[in-house]
């Protein structure tokens, strides 16, 4: 894992920030789905070492959270 790769750093910043926003939204609205999705996105941004894989997983998580919130 190369921590100084600009693509990895940008992807990690982007998806971690969006995940943090989901966490804040889930906490304020008392939505466990959004809170769990945000925590999962933050975990993905820490644990995945590929920018492409991180982006794909985060997009999938965003779609899953959206679908689960629309279903409820």
* Band of residue 1 on the pLDDT scale cut at 50, 70, 90: low
Q: Per the domain annotation, does 72 fall within a domain?
A: no
Q: What is the pLDDT of residue 2?
A: 67
Tell me the Ramachandran region of residue 5: left when phi exceeds 0, alpha when psi lies from -120 to 50, beta otherwise.
beta
pTM of the full structure: 0.88
Q: Per the domain annotation, does 34 fall within a domain?
A: yes
Q: Per the domain annotation, does 57 fall within a domain?
A: yes
Q: Per the domain annotation, does 1 fall within a domain?
A: no
Q: Per the domain annotation, does 71 fall within a domain?
A: no
pLDDT in tens, 11-60: 999 999 999 999 999 999 999 999 999 999 999 999 998 999 999 999 99
User: What distance in Å separates the CA atoms of residue 71 and residue 25, rounded to the nearest whole number?
Assistant: 18
- Cβ neighbourhood burial of 54 (10 Å; 0-12, 13-18, 19+): buried
Q: Domain count of the chain?
A: 1
- Looking at per-residue pLDDT, the higher value among 3 and 11 belongs to 11
pLDDT at 72 over 70: no
Q: Per the domain annotation, does 37 fall within a domain?
A: yes
Cα–Cα distances in angstroms (integers) from residue 59 to residues 4, 27, 30, 52, 64, in the given order? 23, 21, 22, 11, 9
């Amino acid at each position: 894992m190369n921590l100084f790769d600009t693509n990895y750093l940008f992807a990690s910043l982007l998806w971690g920030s969006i995940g943090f926003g989901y966490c804040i939204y889930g906490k304020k609205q008392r939505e466990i789905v959004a809170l769990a999705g945000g925590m999962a996105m933050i975990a993905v941004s820490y644990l995945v070492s590929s920018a492409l894989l991180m982006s794909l997983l985060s997009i999938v998580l965003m779609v899953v959270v959206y679908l689960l919130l629309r279903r409820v």
